[in-house]
Structure 1
Amino acid sequence: MINLSALVLGGLLFLSVAVGAVIAGIVSKIFQHSNEGLALLCGGFLIGLLTLDIIPSALNSYKTPGIALGILLGYMLLLLVNKSLHSSIRPSAYLLTIALLIHTIPLSLTIGSLLGDSLFNHSLTMSTILHHIPEGFVLTSIFLSQGQKLIGLFLCFIGLSFCFSLFIWIGNHIHLGIKAQSVLLGVSIGLIAVTSIKEFILQNVRALSIRTSTTFVTMGFVISFVFHMVF
């Protein structure tokens, strides 16, 4: 049976991404007449998330060769998925959910390994939960920009929360080597990077003027910076 603490943390993560969803809903009202603009904003936000948070943290804590291998695997996975699906299907939102899920696995395992530690710092756990507010923001923004049904977004949030709890439980019982964690993070980085540049920026930049497109991407990056500083 999954440890109660893991379930509680999963519930807190759901609340965290829900807060991000509310913020995204407010922002989307400002750009409700420009789905392309919202998509470009998402792309800029993801670039900020990578350069300000995910990549520096990964390089600081994990093995660079493993990360590089994971990035290559993530890129190949994205190519495989895009070739397997019909051109009318836009899998980017769900691929990004998978990427963000993979990104949480090493962190979940670390938290799980600390659950039995009497010196476990609960403030660190809370900061980890708050750290997922940007994920709720970007996923919601993507769903809104693509006009997808919100039930899919809700299921993505449930999936993220469940897997977060599951891997906390696994981390409390099983040790995953640093090399494997490095590859997982690399896969996450590869999926996020290619999706943000190819799906959200390059596919929408031609729909608007260069100045407007640059403004949206820059705004996304600035919002990401604000999230990084606050959370």
Structure 2
Amino acid sequence: MMLDAFILGGFLFFSVSAGGGIAWLVSKIFHDTKEGLALLCGGFLVGILAIDIIPSALKMYPLSGIILGVLIGYIFLVMVNNFLFSSKSRNPSVYLLTFALFIHTIPISLTIGNLLSNSTFATSITTSTILHHFPEGFALTSALLSQGKKLIVLLFCFISLSVCFSTFIWIGHQVNFSIKTQSVLLGTSIGLIGVTSVKEFILINILVVPIKLFLTFLITGYLLSVVFHLVF
């Protein structure tokens, strides 16, 4: 079982790396403006939430748990911004987004762990694992590049995400978490991703970039999320 979990973790690493590679290519087009990359990332994340994550969550989990999770995510962000990142010279968006993606991975991993013993689901689980995490790789890479982070930081994030994924698959196989618990975790990730996208990537640049460029980058990011949703 542990071997299967780490194999799937390897698939996730391949998936997020491929998504990151696409983001790197896109960054070469917009290499003259870090604000543009940040807006691209913000529009992309809003699109992923609106088109993919939120509709899927509402179909699979109870609304009350998701709402509670969103509230927890928002309160957590307020506390982090007030107590850990109070200095304006430090931009917490990349760290918060990374944390949000880790949280987002947990309910997915737990569900896979619960189903992995059933060989009927093996192929579909592997396929969905590869395809589902392309957007996460794209978003995280765009965020890191927009803030001038080194690629070694990105590699560390991808490896850590893969290890987290494998670990919670194993935990999900050993412990049967309730749907309510998973819904709160997913709601927390939605709250973290949503607030971080709007506040740290979009609103912070609204007065920095000319309105036409602002809308161009934002809409382009959203349209990219539509493409990812249709293709992957």
Q: TM-score, normalized by length of structure 2?
A: 0.96
Matched residue, 1:112? 113
- Rounded to whole Å, the distance in 2 between the matches of 1:154 and 1:94 is 14
The DSSP-based 3-state class of the residue aligned with 2:67 is: helix
How many residues in Structure 1 have an aligned counterpart in Structure 2?
230
Q: 4+ residue runs of structure 1 moved beyond 3 angstroms?
A: none
Letter of the 2:99 counterpart: I
- Rounded to whole Å, the distance in 2 between the matches of 1:123 and 1:115 is 10
Contact map agreement 1:24 1:137 (CA 8 A) in 2:
yes
Matched residue, 1:32? 31
Identity of aligned residues (%): 60
Contact map agreement 2:18 2:134 (CA 8 A) in 1:
yes
Matched residue, 1:160? 161
Task: Give 1:138-149 correspondences, 5 Å limit.
Answer: 138-149=139-150
Q: Deviations over 1:111-143 (max 9, x none)?
A: 111221132241332122211011111111111
Instruction: Report the alpha carbon displacement of residue 153 of structure 1 after superposing the two structures with TM.
Output: 1.4
- Rounded to whole Å, the distance in 2 between the matches of 1:160 and 1:73 is 22
Q: Deviations over 1:22-52 (max 9, x none)?
A: 1011000000001111110100000001000
Letter of the 1:26 counterpart: L
Letter of the 2:145 counterpart: L
Matched residue, 2:68? 69
The DSSP-based 3-state class of the residue aligned with 2:121 is: coil
For structure 2, which runs of at least 5 residues remain unmatched after alignment?
none
For structure 1, which runs of at least 5 residues remain unmatched after alignment?
none
Task: Give 1:1-231 correspondences, 5 Å limit.
Answer: 3-84=2-83, 85=85, 86-231=87-232
Contact map agreement 2:112 2:125 (CA 8 A) in 1:
no
Q: TM-score, normalized by length of structure 1?
A: 0.96
Letter of the 2:65 counterpart: G
- Rounded to whole Å, the distance in 2 between the matches of 1:140 and 1:83 is 26
